[in-house]
């Protein structure tokens, strides 16, 4: 970044520099008149991001300072771009009316917007939470983490080992992470390379300070009621977030009324590799499809955000899972109910974020009107749910609070159609405030009132030609022609004499003139005050409306599951406490939706238990569907445990508490890790965290090293999984190492399966059907041919393969790869086989110009006979 000259200390720049010094690292938007201005390096950065003009000014001296700005009314357009570029943006506003101040207007930062702290709808994604995360590091086995979505008030904390914290970061995808400056090295590994981060002083991360901050926030004497009183590191992380809110001028935090505890033992363990490999939330490839895109048919923003959380935090409690399934079943069975509920939910706005704006006094009239409209829908939804006689639906209905007092006041005071901003007026209904009504009558019916005065005075004075007019010098005045000036009442005050007339003013006219001229300004002030009082009153309902939002979000998620089940032929799984997974005719939820029209997905059965079939070793060719089978099994289990129906004919799922996947790999060059190192790191994480209810998916373990090394590692891993002294994790192990088929002969709980193909001459057809027994071929060369590999490469690969397989059949291990027949791409094709020599001679003897069609057919038959003769 080029070094810029310091701005000259004019009074304005002195004020700017003083404010800038309080917010180091933040880009300062400095309000000057109708513009937000940036100076120096901030101006250079803003001009590049916003593509606005960068200018310079000298301030009357030799030095110059860069300058870039935009109109204040365009803030909502430009602010999101600055924040999305990773900037912390300090918004400095004028705190006084410039008209009433001599000299420099008082200014101050009214909000510091960061990637993790924003209420701006253009910054936020309505379908995703905007989490700020805080991490406190003690050691690798003891870390605290907290998440806050300022826009909704959702506040959560947890603590655990490094892998658990990493998994939470991967699942919640915070927009910004804060941590202690001293712990930069330890914590940076948890944050994506391009992730927004901010470091705080060490004293912020102390238990006493954090505990006090939380008690002040929740106005309690203890944290026991939140279940986090023994979570020292979690408390420290949460306290740091509250401190960060103060530091960023976010002081209205009444909507942050509680803190939830994220329990590791209540949700399925999904490490960061599994969340990535199964593409739960984000596809790995550009243009790909993640599971969330299949399952999210929600209607409200609250529902969409909650569904994303359910996806990365599947349940482990069978009873709670069954509660969700029962509600989904009720909705699936009654299509009319689902349609009626959907029509109501479409009318509901983002209750969570709307009530947060109320609590923080950031809501505008149109948003408050939207809140009212949303609340008016709730009684109809509650009535529909209660009428079904379903316990689960009735429980949701009970939680819907109509907030009658609030709705009555909003209906009485807030107009039906209101503007976006308060200074435009026309917000408050007639009859709410006498002064307001009077001013409206003056402002909007002023001419009528003047006509009334004119008519009345004409009758009283007997001056038929009396006129009321206005000019900037005298304001409103009465004009009387010279013919009638002797009829002018004594109390009128003469202001001007014309050739043919006299002009007068009256006390009544001057009072009314003042009312008319000031009416609009007073109207705005009164309406703003009444609106502010209305918002303050609505703030008392924050917690009740947050409860409504949570209930609607839950209903919306379960309705989404029902819609998806109906559209895609999903069934209700049986979730129990057994140690068995029995999936009949299971399908991959994502892949089946991506197939060309008319092409069905080939379903398969998967059975795993801890006593008889703990490990399935699956062989078969590339592209046959081994990886899809592994993934679909995990997705079916996770969908079942988050409360969704599943793509299968039937599914009985014994609760799984950990899902591990080792599927695919890539280099991590930035950290100096090869593909194989990444593979081994992920595998080690699996083997070190197993238990009896784990589901393990391993795909092509050991392929990143030499064949013998790879087979040895894969073999050893399977033995380890089978012979683990404490646990029997259910495992799907896809491999090309056919040697592993031998393990089923020595280990009773290892069974061989293959994804079948059908050979037709030199071609293969992928049947994608899982069958018992191992496979001896991978058909990799056929796949290479399908991919468009040059024909010479395919022919040469076949030649080498035949040599190696012949060598293998003879069990002759003395031969080396160096003995593979040498390739000589310059040789004539016919020299490779004596039969081709004979064919060449036959072809050379032909005269193409004279041969008849019949003779050509006979010659072709002769050539075919030669080629079929293998002697």
Annotated binding site for ATP: 620-627
Give the integer Cα–Cα distance in Å for 722 and 610: 10
Phi, then psi, of 535 in degrees rounded to 5? -65, -40
Q: Which residue has the tokens 């069990």?
A: 811
Give the integer Cα–Cα distance in Å for 474 and 495: 8
The two structure tokens encoding residue 242: 């509250």
**At what angle are helices 391-399 and 542-568 packed, to 10 degrees?**
150
Phi, then psi, of 111 in degrees rounded to 5? -165, 140
Instruction: Find out whether 229 and 220 touch, Cβ atoms under 8 Å.
Output: no
Give the integer Cα–Cα distance in Å for 864 and 708: 43
402 closest CA partner among 556, 255, 541, 256: 541
DSSP collapsed to 3 states, 111-126: EEEECCECCCCCCCCC
Q: Which residue has the tokens 């012949």?
A: 806
Dihedral sign for Cα atoms in the order 566, 572, 573, 577: positive
Annotated binding site: 620-627
Give the integer Cα–Cα distance in Å for 591 and 604: 14
Give the integer Cα–Cα distance in Å for 864 and 443: 104
Start-to-end C-alpha separation, the chain = 78
Phi-psi region of 457 (alpha: psi -120 to 50; beta: other; left: phi over 0): alpha
What are the DSSP calls for 133-171, one per residue?
A: EEEEEEETTEEEEEEEETTTTEEEEEEE-HHHHHHHHHH
What are the DSSP calls for 679-746, one per residue?
A: HHHHHHHHHTS--TTEEEEEESTTTTS-HHHHHHHHHHHHHHHHH-SS---EEEEE-S-GGGGGGGGT
Burial of 191 (0-12, 13-18, 19+ CB in 10 A): middle
Rg (CA), the chain: 38
Q: CB-based contacts of 103: which residues, under 8 Å, 6+ apart?
A: 11
Q: DSSP letter at 604? A: E
Helix (H, G, I), strand (E, B), or coil: what is residue 767? strand
722 closest CA partner among 561, 610, 593: 610
Dihedral sign for Cα atoms in the order 99, 104, 110, 111: positive
Give residue 778's Cα distance to chain centre: 40
**Quick one: CA torsion of 424, 426, 428, 430, rounded to 10 degrees?**
150
**At what angle are helices 75-84 and 40-50 packed, to 10 degrees?**
100
What are the DSSP calls for 226-242, one per residue?
A: GT-TT-HHHHHHHHHHH
């Amino acid at each position: 970044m080029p070094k810029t000259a310091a701005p000259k200390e004019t009074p304005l720049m002195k004020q700017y520099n003083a404010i800038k010094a309080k917010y180091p690292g933040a880009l300062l938007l400095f309000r000057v008149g109708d513009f937000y201005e940036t100076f120096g390096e901030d101006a250079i950065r803003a001009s590049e991001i916003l593509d606005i003009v960068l200018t310079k000014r000298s301030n009357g001296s030799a030095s110059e300072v860069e300058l870039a700005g935009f109109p204040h009314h365009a803030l909502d357009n430009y602010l999101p771009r600055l924040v999305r570029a990773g900037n912390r943006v300090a918004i400095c506003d004028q705190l006084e009316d410039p008209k009433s101040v001599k000299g420099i207007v008082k200014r101050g930062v009214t909000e510091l917007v960061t990637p993790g702290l924003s209420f701006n709808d253009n910054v936020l994604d309505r379908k995703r939470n905007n989490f700020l995360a805080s991490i406190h590091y003690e050691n690798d086995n003891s870390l605290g983490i907290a998440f806050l979505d300022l826009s909704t008030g959702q506040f959560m904390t947890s603590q655990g080992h490094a892998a658990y914290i990493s998994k939470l970061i991967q699942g919640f995808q915070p927009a910004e992470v804060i941590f202690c400056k001293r712990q930069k090295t330890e914590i940076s590994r948890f944050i994506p390379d391009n992730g927004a981060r901010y470091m705080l002083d060490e004293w912020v991360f102390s238990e006493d300070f954090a505990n006090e901050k939380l008690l002040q926030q929740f106005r309690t004497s203890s944290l026991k009621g939140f279940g986090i009183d023994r979570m020292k590191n979690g408390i420290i992380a949460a306290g740091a977030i509250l401190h960060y809110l103060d530091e960023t001028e976010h002081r209205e935090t009444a909507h942050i009324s509680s803190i939830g505890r994220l329990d590791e033992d209540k949700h399925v363990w999904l490490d960061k590799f599994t969340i990535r490999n199964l593409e739960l939330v984000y596809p790995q490839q550009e243009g790909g499809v993640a599971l969330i895109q299949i399952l999210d048919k929600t209607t409200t923003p609250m529902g969409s955000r909650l569904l994303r959380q359910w996806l990365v935090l599947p349940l482990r409690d069978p009873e709670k899972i069954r509660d969700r399934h029962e509600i989904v079943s009720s909705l699936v069975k009654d299509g009319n109910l689902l349609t009626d509920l959907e029509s109501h939910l479409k009318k509901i706005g983002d209750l969570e974020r709307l009530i947060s704006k109320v609590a923080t006094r950031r809501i505008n009239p149109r948003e408050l009107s939207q809140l009212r409209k949303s609340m008016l829908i709730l009684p109809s939804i509650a009535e529909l749910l209660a009428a079904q006689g379903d316990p689960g639906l009735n429980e949701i209905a009970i939680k819907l609070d109509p907030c009658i007092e609030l709705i009555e006041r909003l209906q009485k005071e807030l107009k039906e159609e209101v503007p976006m901003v308060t200074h435009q007026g026309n917000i408050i209904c007639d009859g709410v405030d006498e002064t307001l009504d009077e001013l409206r009558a003056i402002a909007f019916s002023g001419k009528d009132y003047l006509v009334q005065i004119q008519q009345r005075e004409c009758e009283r004075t007997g001056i038929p030609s009396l006129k009321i007019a206005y000019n900037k010098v005298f304001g409103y005045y009465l004009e009387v022609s010279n013919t009638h000036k002797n009829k002018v009442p004594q109390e009128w005050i003469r202001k001007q004499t014309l050739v043919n007339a006299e002009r007068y003013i009256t006390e009544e006219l001057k009072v009314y003139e003042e009312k008319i001229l000031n009416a609009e300004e007073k109207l705005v002030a009164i309406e703003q005050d009444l609106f502010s009082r209305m918002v303050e009153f609505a703030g008392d309902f924050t917690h009740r409306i947050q409860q409504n939002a949570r209930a609607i979000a839950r209903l919306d998620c379960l309705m989404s599951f029902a819609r998806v089940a109906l559209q895609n032929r999903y069934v209700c799984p049986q979730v129990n406490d057994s140690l068995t997974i029995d999936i009949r005719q299971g399908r991959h939820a994502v892949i089946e939706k991506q197939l060309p029209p008319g092409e069905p997905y080939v379903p398969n059965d998967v059975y795993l238990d801890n006593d008889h079939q703990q490990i399935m070793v699956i062989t078969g060719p590339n592209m046959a569907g081994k990886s899809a089978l592994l993934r679909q099994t995990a997705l079916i289990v996770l969908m079942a445990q988050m409360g969704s129906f599943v793509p299968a004919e039937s599914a009985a799922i014994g609760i799984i508490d950990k899902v591990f996947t080792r599927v695919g790999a890539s280099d991590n060059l930035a950290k100096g890790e090869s593909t194989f190192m990444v593979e081994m790191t992920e595998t080690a994480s699996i083997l070190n965290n197993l238990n009896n209810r784990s589901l393990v998916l391993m795909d092509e373990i050991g392929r990143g090293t030499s064949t013998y090394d790879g087979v040895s590692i894969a073999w050893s891993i399977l033995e380890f999984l089978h012979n683990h002294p404490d646990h029997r994790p259910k495992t799907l192990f896809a491999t090309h190492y056919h040697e592993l088929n031998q393990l089923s002969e020595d280990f009773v709980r290892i069974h061989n399966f293959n994804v079948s193909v059908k050979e037709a001459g030199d071609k293969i057809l992928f049947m994608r059907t899982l069958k018992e027994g191992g496979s001896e071929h991978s058909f990799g060369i056929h796949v290479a041919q399908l991919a468009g590999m040059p024909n010479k490469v395919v022919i040469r690969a076949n030649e080498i393969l035949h040599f190696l397989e012949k060598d293998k059949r003879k069990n002759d291990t003395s031969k080396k790869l160096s003995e593979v027949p040498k390739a000589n791409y310059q040789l004539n094709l016919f020299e490779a086989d004596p039969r081709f020599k004979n064919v060449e001679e036959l072809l050379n003897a032909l005269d193409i110009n004279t041969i008849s069609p019949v003779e050509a057919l006979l010659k072709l038959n002769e050539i075919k006979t030669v080629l079929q003769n293998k002697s």
